[in-house]
Amino acid sequence: MKVSINSVHFKADSKLEQFIEKKVGKLSGLYEDVIGSEITLKLDKAETRENKIAEIRVQIPGYDLYAKKQSNSFEEATDTAVSALKKQLEKHKGKFKK
C-alpha cells in the first residue's frame, strides 16, 4: 500500500512519519484491496490546545474512505482517525459479504 504524508506549513519529523505509516499500514491488513492512502497534517489557527488535525483518505476500488480528527497531538489525532477508518472498512467489507 502506498502511503503519502503531506504536512501543511511545517515539516513533520521522521518519527511522526514512521508512526503514521505503521498505524495506517495496519489498515491494509484488514482489507487486502486497499490501493493507497493520503494523510494530511495541519495546524488549526485556534488558540486551543487541540489544534492538530489529521485527515486520512484511504483509497479502495470504487470508493474513498475519509476521516478527519483533531486532537492535542498528531499521534492522537492519527489514532482516532485510523480507528474510525477501521469501522468504515469493516462496514464496507460487510456489504460485499452479503
pLDDT value of position 27: 87
Rounded CA-CA distance 33/72 in Å is 32
pLDDT value of position 97: 64
Contacts of 4 (CB under 8 A, 6+ apart): 36, 37, 38, 39
Other C-beta atoms lying within 10 Å of the C-beta of residue 66: 14
The answer to whether residues 52 and 79 touch, using CB atoms and an 8 Å cutoff, is no
Domain 2-97 CATH superfamily: Ribosome hibernation promotion factor-like (3.30.160.100)
- Mean pLDDT (10-residue bins), the chain, 98 residues: 89 92 88 90 83 93 92 94 93 74
Question: Domain ranges in the chain?
Answer: 2-97
Element holding 22 (H helix, E strand)? helix 14-30
Contacts of 28 (CB under 8 A, 6+ apart): 1, 34
